[in-house]
Amino acid sequence: MAKKVNVGIIGCGAICDIYFKNLVQTFTNINVIACADLLPERAEAKAAEFGVPKACSVKALLADPDVAIVLNLTVPKAHAAVALAAIRAGKHVHGEKPLGISLKEGAAIMQAARKAGVRVGSAPDTFLGGGIQTCRKLIDDGWIGKPIAANAFMQCHGHETWHPSPEFYYERGGGPMLDMGPYYLTALVNLIGPIARVTGSARTTFPTRTITSQPKFGKVVKVETPTHIAGILDFANGAVGTIVTSFDIWGHTMPCIEIYGTEGSLAVPDPNGFGGPVRVKRHDTAQWMDVPLSHGYAENSRGIGVADLAAALVGKRRHRASGEMAMHVLDVMLAFERASISGKAVAIHSPCEQPAPLPLGLRHGQID
């Protein structure tokens, strides 16, 4: 039986339910022993719903000597403050994306963790799902030859028509790149490797957004971040990628991600999900082929990165959804706007290793 690692969750908002569900019910190496929120009643409700032993204040959770990993599910502008507080308390920390909303924040987290001798992990962990892990195996096994290019597209018209509290999507630290870019860029780093240089263009199309969802119908939100970003990626291995993220588009027919190699092409599923479909078109076939998934975790498995961090602590190995990769992705995302303003390519200096693939044949709830 896997050795269990104790986890405390800070932030009991919209995204927390799937984490509670998977960490409590699915992964065999996790014990969720406490949760906290700025609104105590929210933490109490989640503790009761998911059978978590203790709902408490953030201060009390950080002071609890039994908590080994803090799962940080706060809003983006609070990610760094909570992560740094957890590190000061001697805890390993895994956070929602992005790692921070500036390079200064991301660097401070990583430096503090190194000094304290603790680990940092970060969402997204969707690249550990069956869809993208199948794509990783196809690339590693040579089905499309050497990757030479990639395209990635995330385009919609924003969140104000459906999200109950969409303001933070349009604040600094929000926008389509920092909100959705982590899924796409993390998938690309997992599949192709780290990124060496970027260039790009960015614009803010609408200066304000009007909320048409409840309960804030009619509220006007000032837009503080670019809402359409087009970027070029130069990967360290020589591949060239294109990425577009937008909150300004009413509809499109572009793929989520496609990767092109010397021997064929690969259609990668939505990196904001865990499953398929996966399709390949090789140079010696007339049609695209559907590929069965080689790995499990094709359902919504958010929290698998926390479970992998826990397993890595016990097994003394690298964890896959690492802070180093999250810092690399943050560096890339922020570089697009700098490139747009300067009109020059921006070198990426944050080091990153391509994460190890998941092994084949894992039972549901198992990591190693």
- Mean of pLDDT values over 139-156: 98
Model pLDDT for residues 160-177, shown as the tens digit of each residue: 999 998 998 999 889 999
Q: How far is CA 364 from CA 26, 43, 107, 237, 335, in A?
A: 7, 28, 35, 34, 38
pLDDT of residue 172: 87
Does residue 133 surpass a pLDDT of 90? yes
| pLDDT value, residue 359 | 96
Residues 6 or more apart from 191 whose CB is under 8 A from it?
132, 135, 136, 139, 147, 150, 259, 268
- pLDDT for position 147: 98
Q: What percent of the chain has pLDDT over 90?
A: 96
* Mean residue pLDDT across the chain: 97
List, for residues 53-92, the tens digit of each pLDDT value. 999 999 999 999 999 999 999 988 899 999 999 999 999 9
Asked if the model's pLDDT at residue 11 lies above 90, the reply is yes
Predicted pLDDT of residue 2: 76
In order of their start, the domains of the chain are 5-122 (3.40.50.720), 127-295+330-347 (3.30.360.10)
pLDDT at position 19? 98
pTM of the shown model: 0.96
- Mean pLDDT, residues 116-133: 98
Query: How much is the CA Rg of the chain, to the nearest whole Å?
Result: 20
Question: Is the bond preceding residue 76 a cis peptide, omega within 30 degrees?
Answer: no
The residue length of the chain stands at 368
Residue 56 φ/ψ, nearest 5 degrees: -150, -175
Phi/psi at 76 (nearest 5 deg)?
Answer: -50, -40
For the cut 90, the answer to whether the pLDDT of residue 14 exceeds it is no
Locate 353 and state its tokens.
């290793």
Nearest to 173 by CA among 164, 182, 165: 182
**Tens digit of each residue's pLDDT (9 = 90 or more) over 166-207:** 998 999 889 999 999 999 999 999 999 999 999 999 999 999
Closest to 272 measured CA to CA, from 92, 85, 131: 131
Residue pLDDT, tens place only, 322-362: 999 999 999 999 999 999 999 999 999 999 999 999 999 99
Strands 195-203 and 5-10: unpaired
**Do residues 125 and 304 lie in contact, with contact meaning Cβ atoms separated by under 8 Å?**
yes
pLDDT higher than threshold 70 for residue 1: no
Burial of 168 from C-beta contacts in 10 A (0-12 / 13-18 / 19+): middle
